[in-house]
Amino acid sequence: MNGHLLVSISSIFDETRKDVAKLISHLDREEIPVSLLVAPHIDGNWHLVKDSATKEWLLEQKSAGRTIILNGFDQAVQGRRAEFATLDSHEARLRLKGATRQMESIGFATDIFAPPRWRLSDGTLAVLPEFGFKIAASTKGLYQLDTGEFLAARNLSVGEGFGAAKWWRRNIIRAAQRGASKGNSIRLSVSGRNLADKKVARDFVAAAIAAVEQGATPGHYELLRR
């Protein structure tokens, strides 16, 4: 049985938007869907609500059927602890309340949540259903929150607290190829911050194509939804 291929991009803001759009166009030509990881704040300085160009572009992507995933409340710069990695339920609830309110107010209501760097605490997982989330993604895989179903799917990331050097990218391509050949579901993610480097974008596309060539079926993060 073949597994799925799920592709996503994070760190989407004014400085990365054009490079993100180029990568999406390339993957669209390969008929590989791309999900967008969106946070209302990034690095404490950028605010989606104040960036009209990025907001309108994201709304266009959403209208075209692109999956939007809430990627935390204040996505931090590399080097700081991942936002939802260790939060208890009380702290997670406060951050999720702020994030969902802001996103809904500008047209980005979503029922899929993925914490920065995919690091999801038990406290966060426990309170996600309170905010209407149906699916959550972690380093381990995907949770269907209303049924308890879990899909094991290794995440292979470039940038955003993970590697982006040539050797790392080669390993990502090999891992995607190897996992797909075994029938495993593969998740590939890349930070928009790294896409200005054409070699990073090229190798990320190569990893996605390699997974498809080994039998993985391109899909969406909604695949668990009934």
- Strand 74-75's sheet: what is its strand order? 46-47, 41-42, 74-75
How far is Cα of residue 177 from the mean position of the Cα atoms in its chain? 20
- pLDDT bracket for residue 222 (50, 70, 90): confident
Delimit the domains of the chain by residue range.
Answer: 4-224
- Provide the percentage of residues in the chain whose pLDDT is more than 90: 88
With 0.85 as the threshold, say if the pTM is over it: yes
Query: Which CATH number, 3.90.1150.10, 3.40.190.10, 3.40.640.10, 3.20.20.370, labels domain 4-224?
Result: 3.20.20.370
Average pLDDT over residues 54-62: 97
Q: Of all residues in the chain, what percent are helix, strand and coil, respectively (each to 5)?
A: 45, 20, 35
Mind listing the pLDDT tens digit for each residue in 14-34? 999 999 999 999 999 999 999
In order of 3, 81, 211, the CA distances from 76 in angstroms are: 32, 8, 30
Confidence band for 224, pLDDT divided at 50, 70 and 90: low
Q: Which helix (H) or strand (E) holds 8?
A: strand 4-10
Whether the per-residue pLDDT at 62 is higher than 90: the answer is yes
